[in-house]
Amino acid sequence: MDTLAMPKAFSTQHGWYLSTLSSALENAQVLTSNDNNNLEIASSKLIYTYTYAMSGFSANLSPKELEALKSSTGYISSIPDLPAKLDTTHSPQFLDLNPNTGAWPIGKFGEDIIVGLVDTGIWPESESFKDEGMTKIPSRWKGQCEDSIKCNNKLIGARFFHKGVLAKYPYLARNENSTRDTQGHGTHTSSTVAGSQVDNASFFGYANGSARGIAPRARVAMYKALWEDRTMSSDIIAAIDSAISDGVDVLSLSLGLDDVPLYNDPIAITTFSAMERGIFVSTSAGNDGPCHDDLTYSIFLFCFLFVFFNSVRRLGG
């Protein structure tokens, strides 16, 4: 939506969107005598209002209602609520990072950088998210942790988004009102990016060694928007919108949409908004084809460290 077209009578974008939506309802002509009823129905169809990732909203509309919406004042474009799929990553050993010299120590191992991840959630009890030796949370942080997740100075944010999934699949009995990870993917990716060092790690006694993320001194904020095999882009947009508002420095996404051009890709659009606000965005390139995305992800992580290096240098660190 074009916010410059918002009538002065509205004090918030949310109120404007509700009014616009109510006028596009299939039964709006019948209910014009009862505006409150119209707004109530519109509110039940509204899924999310977006402020930072994009100016607009997601709603559950019929084809006729969508066509009516297109003639509304301020309308720019619309895209369907597309399903997304998970991608995965691998160890950053390809980068041959040295803890004693080079980008890692110069970048202070990501100290006080806040990494926001949109994924399947997080398992907070993992040793990768211990906060031993971490300083206090930066005062610029505006995020929060929902009740079922115990956060600390390492894991500083945990929120979940599933209104889009429930709108698409209303028959689902979704009782998972938690950011807790039941699949492992979000715990895996977040520890790969910013996991604290865990000594004597192994897989049931195999592959003994130390495990750590690319930026082990960075902080983690998890935005759960991926639910088993059902994931909708409206939830992902809401998660990115919140991450921008909360004050993350980096957005990491190991997910994507198939065969969608960039100008119609809501993830590309919203992460571009994040980039415009100075947030570094790292995304995977997919899991299919002759070249696995591990190398691409490693290159993104190298750029991530390069950002650390330059930030520290500018600050005189």
Taking CA atoms, 11 is separated from 6, 7, 43, 287, in Å, by: 9, 9, 17, 45
> What is the SS3 assignment for 5?
helix
Listed by start position, the domains of the chain span 10-71, 90-283
Reading the block at residue 130, the tokens are 């211990």
Give CA–CA dist 216/128, Å, rounded: 9
Tens-digit pLDDT profile for residues 8-44: 999 999 999 999 999 998 765 444 445 677 788 889 9
Distant-in-sequence, close-in-space partners of 145: CB < 8 Å, separation ≥ 6? 151, 155, 156, 157, 158, 159, 179
Tens-digit pLDDT profile for residues 215-273: 999 999 999 999 877 889 999 999 999 999 999 999 999 888 877 888 888 889 999 99
Instruction: Sheet with 280-283: list strands edge to edge.
Output: 155-160, 219-224, 114-119, 250-253, 280-283
Give CA–CA dist 238/42, Å, rounded: 19
User: Is the confidence at residue 296, as pLDDT, over 50?
Assistant: no
Tens-digit pLDDT profile for residues 75-128: 999 999 988 877 644 455 667 777 788 888 888 888 999 999 999 999 999 999
What's the pTM? 0.78
Reading the block at residue 141, the tokens are 């942080």
User: How far is CA 170 from its chain centroid?
Assistant: 23
CATH 3.40.50.200 fits 90-283, yes or no: yes
